[in-house]
Chain A
Amino acid sequence: MRIYAIFVYLFLYIPIGIIALFSFNAGRHASQLQGLSTQWYGKALSNPFVMDALETSLIVAFVSAICASVFGTMAAVALQGIRGPIRVVFDLLIYVAVMIPGIVIGIATLIGLVTLFDQLNPLVASLWPTDAPPKFSMGYGSLIAAHTLFTMSLVIIIIRARLAGMDRALTEASSDLYATPLGTFRQVTLPLILPAILAGFLLSFTFSFDDFIIAFFVAGSETTLPIYVFSSIRRGVTPEINAIGTMVLAVSLVLLITAQLLLRNGKSRT
């Protein structure tokens, strides 16, 4: 049994280890180890295409994770106190948003937004006072909006689980002691769900940062880091991709472990 488990862990981690090992390859061939060096990290970090893609990915991940945490928390808290059809509709929407394949979300967002923009742009142009009206197009906005759809649903699920495990008597006591609803939220609910919100933020960030398939459809002329890596792999395997891959994995690992610790600490305190 234990030997089997060791094999499965090797199966899970050897591929990651190989990527990391070959990223330190001194040679130019991706699959032949010729001494160790950090030159590919230097090359990757001084490649303007990589840095542009990284910047896009970081901005999109950060903004969408903020939107997801704020709106997701608001919705989760509100859903606690709501019964009836509105709640049923929201439960259904959250379920659909999480369950539907990412590729379908990507396609739907692409043709939905392009159709919408085709209607909006002439309208805006006709109303705009000058000759250079703003033009809606796919890019940062559509990336952030599409990622937020999925991650917001994720945040709602995480925070509702946390709220469900919370003692209701605490908020009741708070309002019996004449705290305003906002006061109760700030001083009782928020401190209790804060670890879950932070964990939700980190998971959202990681999801957005790593997402390829949705971004592939909705990125427009922008390039995120996964899109860059995918098109590089298509052109051939290079040690530079190994270096980028190792850095991406390292960033996700740090964020994930932080998220896990937050969720765990939050649980043990109540």
Chain B
Amino acid sequence: MTQRGRNLVLLAPAGAWFLVMLVVPLTVVLIFSFGERGAAGGYVPAFTLDQYANLPARWTAFKNTLILAPVGTLAALLIAYPLAYFLAVRADPKWKTLLLVLVIVPFWTSILIRSYAWIFILGGRGIPALLDWIGIGGVRLINTPFSVLVGIAYGYLPLMVFPIFVNLDRLDKRLLEASSDLGAPPWRTFLQVTLPMSLPGVATGCLLVFILLMGEFLIPALLGGGKVFFVGNALVDLFLQSRNWAFGSAVAATLVAIMLVTVTAYMRLIRRLGAQREDVSLM
């Protein structure tokens, strides 16, 4: 067998998997989104834009997602950046690897269990009980946008720290020394050297977190208590409870379309900013 033939045989199972489990299902979603709902749920073939016209019925879910996903991304960034900076620039090299692993490991453990922990902490007998004890009564934290944001920041922190760390870790530390040798105070070194050079890592981290948040279901389901819900929660409702597959498919297709548009626009913006910075450094 030729080299090429052998490679094609090796690729066959993966290719078949992608075809049957990815290409065909996504195509079916797209086709269904132009169909109609069956009398007993499910799907009836048709070609209509009714499902898309009906999207405003789920406007709240889209609105919540489009507000809380960026805000949650920002919250994760604000917590993650100083930690990534500490790990990359300040931490003792001996402990660096261990400390980094300690940040990443939670991300790979069950997000279900980790979000569940916050039901405990933010629920009636958790922090509100403590606040009550020191005299601040009547605080409700669970099932609010705040509790959902805490869950998001907590759940996605590791994913945000990692790319920023990698970026800062590769940064040539002599640049920082040069900056301070030239008399720049630490805050200026940070603003004019460290921060601009770490932007690619920030961009990657934000992108990863934002993409995952767009499809989030568990955190709003557990910590939003039906009051704060995302598109993901609407999708679970449409597919598993009301079995409205045609409308559900339209919602899913719209979600993916919004993701594609925002992600593409975001990457363009980042690239343009990156290009500008290079122009400046050339002068």
Contact = CB atoms under 8 A, between A and B. Distances in A.
Contacts of B91: 5
A248 interface: yes
Given A18-B120, A81-B3, A107-B239, A5 B83 contact: yes
A103 B113 contact: no
Contacts, number: 230
Contacts of A99: 211
Given A1-B82, A4-B83, A31-B126, A19 B116 contact: yes
Nearest to A210: B110
B108 interface: yes
Given A71-B13, A104-B215, A112 B120 contact: no
Given A31-B123, A152-B17, A203-B108, A111 B10 contact: no
Interface in B62-117: 79, 82-83, 85-87, 90-91, 97, 99, 101-103, 105-106, 108-114, 116-117
Given A101-B211, A229-B112, A249-B109, A82 B117 contact: no
Given A12-B103, A149-B21, A226-B110, A111 B32 contact: yes
A21 to B, nearest CB: 10
Given A16-B106, A75-B10, A111 B25 contact: yes
Interface string A134-161: 0000000000011011001000100000
A110 B102 CA distance: 36
B14 A71 contact: yes
Interface stretch (B50-58, B247-255, B268-276): B247-255
Contacts of A86: 8, 11
A250 to B, nearest CB: 9
B240 interface: yes
Given A78-B10, A111-B249, A212-B218, A256 B120 contact: no
A223 interface: no
B43 interface: yes
Given A72-B14, A112-B24, A226-B110, A103 B215 contact: yes
Given A111-B28, A252-B110, A260-B101, A96 B10 contact: no
Most buried by B among A15, A18, A252: A15
A253 B239 contact: no
Most buried by A among B21, B102, B105, B222: B21
A148 B20 CA distance: 12
Contact of A11 (B25, B154, B256): B154
Most buried by A among B11, B97, B232, B248: B11
Interface in A9-32: 9, 11-16, 18-19, 22, 30-32
A115 B121 CA distance: 43
Contacts of B109: 16, 206, 210, 248-249, 252-253, 256
Interface string A14-57: 11101100100000001110000000000000000000000000
Contact of A110 (B6, B105, B239): B239
A252 B108 contact: yes
Interface in B111-148: 111-114, 116-121, 123, 125-126
A170 interface: no
Contacts of B106: 12-13, 16
Contacts of A207: 108
B101 A216 contact: no
A74 B236 contact: no
A262 interface: no
Nearest to B113: A245
Given A15-B154, A93-B18, A213 B32 contact: no
22 contacts: A2-B90, A5-B99, A12-B154, A13-B106, A15-B121, A31-B126, A70-B13, A74-B13, A74-B14, A90-B11, A90-B15, A101-B214, A101-B215, A103-B235, A109-B25, A181-B6, A203-B108, A212-B112, A213-B218, A216-B236, A248-B109, A248-B110
Interface of A: 1-2, 4-5, 8-9, 11-16, 18-19, 22, 30-32, 70-72, 74-75, 77-79, 81-82, 86, 90, 93, 96-97, 99-105, 107-113, 115-116, 145-146, 148-149, 152, 156, 181, 203, 206-207, 210, 212-213, 216-217, 226, 229-230, 233, 237, 241, 245, 248-249, 252-253, 256-257, 260, 264
Question: 6 smallest A-B Cβ distances: which pairs?
Answer: A101-B215, A112-B25, A108-B25, A15-B117, A78-B10, A75-B14
